[in-house]
Amino acid sequence: MATDLLARLRTRSWRMTPQRRVVAEVLVGDHVHLTAEEIHDLAQERLPEISRATVYNTLNELVAMDELLEVDVVNGPKRYDPNVTVEHDHLVCDSCHAIRDVPRSRKPPPVPEGDRADYLITAVDVTYRGLCPACAGVRRGT
């Protein structure tokens, strides 16, 4: 289970304004992959005066701090993933575009040989695609 974003930010002594707090509260959970607009809408339910600019600025700051992953695995707006403490890949439904975290069960590829032997692998990003159970059921007519 991922460590709660709000708890991680408290340990970093991040200045916790009401606006920042509400954005962090919206991003709680292991399988949260919301767009900036969805985050703004949910944050506005808790704090009606929060602006889009504040949400975008907060998201950009959290990404820069490596406390939030920017996920770009479906057509459309980027999603934000607070699960940065556990290495994982993503499973995307090709129909409804739901995104789920899946455990990383393999090691990164070996370093290439030859002219790319000096290549330093800094990240691995794997996306599995398919149909979620609900969309697969619709396709099968069940």
Residue 87 corresponds to which tokens in the numbers above?
A: 């290495």
Assess whether 97 and 112 both reside in one domain: yes
Tell me the HSE value of 82 on the side-chain side, using a 13 A CA sphere.
Answer: 24
Average pLDDT on 10-18 reads 91
Rg over alpha carbons for the chain, rounded to the nearest Å, is: 18
- Is 102 found in the same domain as 124? yes
Identify the domain boundary among 63, 81, 99: 81
Which domain CATH number covers 134? 3.30.1490
Asked if 95 and 48 sit in the same domain, the reply is: no
**CA-based nearest residue to 18, from 30, 36, 6:** 6
CATH code of the domain covering residue 53 = 1.10.10.10
Question: Which H or E run includes 24?
Answer: helix 18-26
- Sign of the dihedral through C-alpha 137, 138, 139, 140: positive
Residue type, 15: R
Q: 68: which 2 tokens?
A: 């939030």
Mean pLDDT of the chain: 86
pTM of the model: 0.80
Report yes or no: 50 and 28 within 8 Å, Cβ to Cβ: no
Domain count, the chain: 2
Residue of 62, 28, 24 lying closest to 43 (CA atoms): 24
Containing domain of residue 65, as a range?
5-81
Q: What is the pLDDT of residues 73-125, one digit of tens each?
A: 878 899 999 988 888 889 999 998 889 999 887 776 666 666 666 777 777 78
